[in-house]
Amino acid sequence: MTCSLHKKGKARSYAWGASKMVDTVDVVIVGAGHNGMTAAAYLARSGRKVIIVERAPKVGGMTSSGYMIPEAPQHLVTPCAVEVIFLRGTGIIEDLELAKYGFRTVDPDPSYAYLHPDGSSIALFRDPKRTAEDMARLNRNDGKAYLEFMKVIDAMMDIGFPYMMAEPGRPRLGDLASIVSGTIRNVRLKNELTTIANGTADQIASERFEHPASVAFLTNIAAGAGPIDDDGNATAYMILGLLHRLGVGKPVGSLQTLSNSLAASAEAAGAKIRLNAPVAEILVENSTTQGVRLEDGNVIRAKVVIATCDPRTAMKLTTPGGVQRRLVKRMEHVPANRANAAPLLANIAMSKPLRLKRHQDLRHDGADLNKAVALIGTPEQVRESYSAAKRGDIPEHHALSVSPLSNWDPSQAPDGQSVAYVYLPAIAVDAREGWSPGLKDRTMSSIIRQISEFYEGFESEIGRFVETPRDREARLNVTNGCVTHVDFGALRSGTNRPATGFGGPKPAIPGLFFGGAGSHPGGGVSGIPGRIAAKRVQRYLKKR
């Protein structure tokens, strides 16, 4: 096996010899994404014999990066996530000694900034009071409203973050105590918490804030978690509490450094990682999981299989007839981008620096918005992005964000040049006219035209990497290109994620555990699903 840090111009690689039979291990993990490697690291540290099998030629899954633009071979592309907001505060970074294996982050402040078409802006600072002051420049009432809103969000954090960390159906006493304590401390906010838990993100933003820029700031933040008109989607505003409490966490050297450090930590504990090893079948014999068969014909026998791929894909891989029909059908109906809306992601390589035009010049507080993630899109454009996606249409104007990767980490592009990560939270999974190369080019042209009203630099584009939801499905084998594997919703959380009977501590199929974004608490780079799966497997193996 070879290991080398992912640096500018040099990719870190892992390889594990030639294909060969492995007689028996304790655990086979399907997928070398961050959750799979988190599970492997914890299990290997506890003395279990673990192997990860990964269909791709490198570790990372949705947390991978690489040099993927032929015209710009020194510009680092990050196809999916670029932050580790949710990972902070979990203890995983410390438990697995990721800093020892090269993982480090930077924290631009402000971390996000909404850019209004008139040149005004609202910056999200680590300090909520400073954020409120920035909002008050446009509307005094909104500044006061933000501080009141943050009291509710803090209460949601007190209750919700311990819930995220807890194992559904079997919370530790410490997690349960934190949840109960948070509930008691914030009982006076019960009605407001209930309103947010049941309301839509658009409703909550419109109820609490007056200025269009304030509403846009909020709805753009929430849009990353799904349609802003879905009941219960307003809980996405908990991300504000995370950003204020924990910071944003931008990995130096791209998110690949997280994947590499997790792989190195797992390997140091004794886990094996096998790449270019797609799974043909999850073996289920006599109603019990027995291991996996790879596409090359080799079989790895194991007492447990953890599937960190999306659960619908995992179920399709199980031995035909090995799983009860009703469970198979239940998983087939798990929603993944059911509303036909999913993210479109693009990385743009440029020969010039990326700089804001009017918005930075109009700031008088020293805040550098050039390092912040820019939120672009009026409230109407955010709403239309989701409405158009549901219809299968491509809107003329988009709600989107621009992450200026090389502005906070110059190592991701050559000196004097730049690379930007453009994220559209909502584009049609299946466009009405079909995602032809022509439609993709026209869509990108409209996106670049819109962004160029705010930034200088895009006119010097060298090349681009663009991934529609269907492209993502093909590259990562995720149903409908769903980055969260399973749609969020009140009925798809806790023990009901990904589906009733599959989210509790006892596996619905003996020996088969789920530990990816389709499991509690869901998507985002947190590692929590992997850690929960590892704990469940430990209990299961001890009983056996």
Whether 22 has a pLDDT exceeding 90, the answer reads: no
Confidence at residue 21, expressed as pLDDT on a 0 to 100 scale: 63
Residue 360: phi and psi, rounded to 5, are -70, -40
Percent of the chain with pLDDT over 70: 96
Chain mean position to CA 530: 14
Query: How far is CA 361 from its chain centroid?
Result: 32
**Which regions of the chain carry the CATH code 3.50.50.60?**
22-66+254-334+485-543
Return mean pLDDT, the chain.
Answer: 92
Which two tokens mark 485? 């594997």
Range name among 17-21, 25-29, 106-110, 261-265 with the lowest pLDDT average: 17-21
User: Mean per-residue pLDDT for 225-241?
Assistant: 90
Mean pLDDT, residues 482-493: 88
Tokens of 484: 């969260």
pLDDT at 408: 96
What is the distance between the alpha carbons of residues 52 and 48, in angstroms, rounded to a whole number? Answer: 13
Q: Between β-strands 355-356 and 512-514, what pairing exists: parallel, antiparallel or unpaired? A: unpaired
pLDDT tens string 402-458: 999 999 999 999 999 999 999 999 999 999 999 999 999 999 999 999 999 999 999
Helix, strand, coil percentages for the chain (3-state, nearest 5) = 40, 20, 40
Which band of pLDDT confidence, cut at 50, 70 and 90, is reported for residue 27? very high
Strand, coil or helix: 356: strand
Q: Does domain 22-66+254-334+485-543 have CATH number 3.50.50.60?
A: yes
Cα gap 41→445, rounded to integer Å? 43
pLDDT at position 493, please? 87
Say what the pLDDT of residue 97 is. Answer: 98
Query: When comparing pLDDT for 345 and 9, which is higher?
Result: 345
pTM, two decimal places: 0.93
Q: Mean of the pLDDT values across residues 37-53?
A: 98
SS (H, E, C) 299-312: EEEEEEEEECCCHH
Q: Determine the average pLDDT of the residues in 279-286.
A: 96
Task: Collect all residues with Cβ–Cβ distance below 8 Å to 427 and sequence separation of at least 6.
Answer: 341, 342, 343, 344, 385, 389, 394, 443, 468, 469
Which of 8-12, 159-163, 339-343 is predicted least confidently?
8-12
pLDDT over threshold 50, residue 371 = yes
Q: Is the pLDDT of residue 10 over 60?
A: no
pLDDT band at 197 (very low <50, low <70, confident <90, very high): confident
Residue 25 has pLDDT above 80, yes or no: yes
Sequence-ordered list of residues with C-beta below 8 angstroms from that of 85, at least 6 positions apart, any chain: 239, 242, 243, 246, 247, 248, 249, 524, 525
DSSP helix/strand/coil, 168: coil
Q: What is the average pLDDT across 22-41?
A: 94
Q: Tell me the CA end-to-end span of the chain in Å, nearest whole number.
A: 32
Question: What average pLDDT does this structure show over 142-163?
Answer: 93
Residue at 110: amino acid letter: P
Contact at 8 Å (CB) between 513 and 311?
A: no
Q: Over range 491-505, report the average pLDDT.
A: 92
Asked if the model's pLDDT at residue 232 lies above 90, the reply is no
What would the pLDDT profile of 378-393 be if each residue is shown by its tens digit?
999 999 999 999 999 9
